[in-house]
Amino acid sequence: MAKKVLIVDDEPDVRIFLETLLREEGFETRTAENGDEAEKIVGGFKPDLITLDIIMPKETGVKFYRFLTKNASLAKIPVIILSGVTRFKDLFGRDHAAMPKPFAFVEKPIDKDALVQKVKDAIAGKPTARA
């Protein structure tokens, strides 16, 4: 059974790129264009991993990440944040010390080989140098 990845990004081109890339690697994917939509999908889809853009309209990636970390059944899902901002404290401000760190950050523009390796490592449960 294919491992599942939820892709959350407001840019259609990025969603299509990530969906194509990850499906070619054998993953089952679903997409959401913002954190609001992702909240509705995540419980039923039960992803093994989430790729998350941070700057999005409606509900931002920061709010969705907080939602995930506060929900016991979702908090264990590894998250890879895709953003031009790669310092955790820059994203979460004063809350950064209390927030669990994501599995990894991948800077945009996305290096597809590095992303695929991080996805595979996260799903395999390999440790990473957390952000």
Q: What is the pLDDT along the chain (131 residues), one digit of tens a residue?
A: 899 999 999 999 999 999 999 999 999 999 999 999 999 999 999 999 999 998 887 778 888 998 999 999 999 999 999 987 665 555 655 665 567 888 988 888 999 999 999 999 999 988 765 54
Interior/surface letters 38-72, b for 16+ CB within 10 angstroms, e for the rest: bbeebeebebbbbbbbbebeebbbbbbbebbbeee
Q: Is residue 129 part of a domain?
A: no
Q: Is residue 16 part of a domain?
A: yes
* Domain boundaries, position 45: 4-123
Look at the pTM and tell me if it is higher than 0.75: yes
CATH code of the domain containing 101: 3.40.50.2300
The total number of structural domains in the chain stands at 1
Please spell the DSSP secondary structure of 32-70, one letter per residue: ESSHHHHHHHHHHH--SEEEEESS-SSS-HHHHHHHHHH
